[in-house]
Structure 1
Amino acid sequence: MAYDDGLAERIRERLGGDPAVTERRMFGGVAFLYEGNMAVGVTGDDLMVRVGPEGTDTALGRPGTRVFDMTGRPMRGWVVVDGTAVAEDDTLDSWLAEGRTFAASLPPK
């Protein structure tokens, strides 16, 4: 599956200056990891965000979100945000901050 390189580039512009952030191809898309823990990614035209189990319900209440489910088994702690819902930079920045904050709460890998 191809992924939206434009969205990935917008993420690179925002996170690329942080030496704790690395990029890795996975899930047929691209993932951005903070100290080895996945924070956000791009799959297809959408943004994947790691919000943690406690943040899932709140995140799903935001516009354009759905449960992350690639295998028929929903993954609690992750949400998918429709690419059109992150067209505005402020909205994208908010989601990136949320994913990075959760990833930073985990022990480095």
Structure 2
Amino acid sequence: MARDAGLEEMMRADLGDLPNLREQAMFGGLCFMMNGNMVACIHKGTGLYRVGDAGMAQALAVPGTTQAMMGQRVMKGYVYLDVDHLDDDDTRAALTGIAIDFVRGLDPKE
């Protein structure tokens, strides 16, 4: 699947001016990294958010989210936001907030 510039721009706007934010091509999509740690990604037409184990219950309560999988492997601490919910600003804002809070607590990788 080709990358979607519109979805990437939407996520870029959601993340705003986070400190030490950079973009990196990963997983066949575009990921957004803060201090070297992934916050979120546009992957195969969906949003992928790194919410951590502690944020999973809260994130999975958001409509349109599912546990992230890579092939048959469960990606612990990550959720997908399906394409039918990507256009909802409040939904994306909720997941973005959970992801940012989690990543702020991680040691920088740079």
TM-score normalized by structure 2?
A: 0.88
Counterpart in the other structure of 1:61: 61
Conservation of the 8 A alpha-carbon contact between 1:4 and 1:46: no
Aligned-partner SS, 1:42: strand
Alignment of 1:30-109 (within 5 A): 30-109=30-109
Worse-superposed segment, 91-100 or 13-22: 13-22
User: Structure 2 unaligned runs (5+)?
Assistant: none
AA in 2 matched with 1:49: Y
Counterpart in the other structure of 1:22: 22
Aligned-partner SS, 1:106: coil
Aligned-partner SS, 2:70: coil
Counterpart in the other structure of 1:13: 13
Aligned residue pairs: how many? Answer: 109
User: Structure 1 unaligned runs (5+)?
Assistant: none
The 1-side partners of 2:6 and 2:73 are apart by: 28
Conservation of the 8 A alpha-carbon contact between 2:3 and 2:28: yes
TM-score normalized by structure 1?
A: 0.89
After superposition, the CA RMSD in angstroms is: 1.5
**How far did 1:94 drift?**
2.0
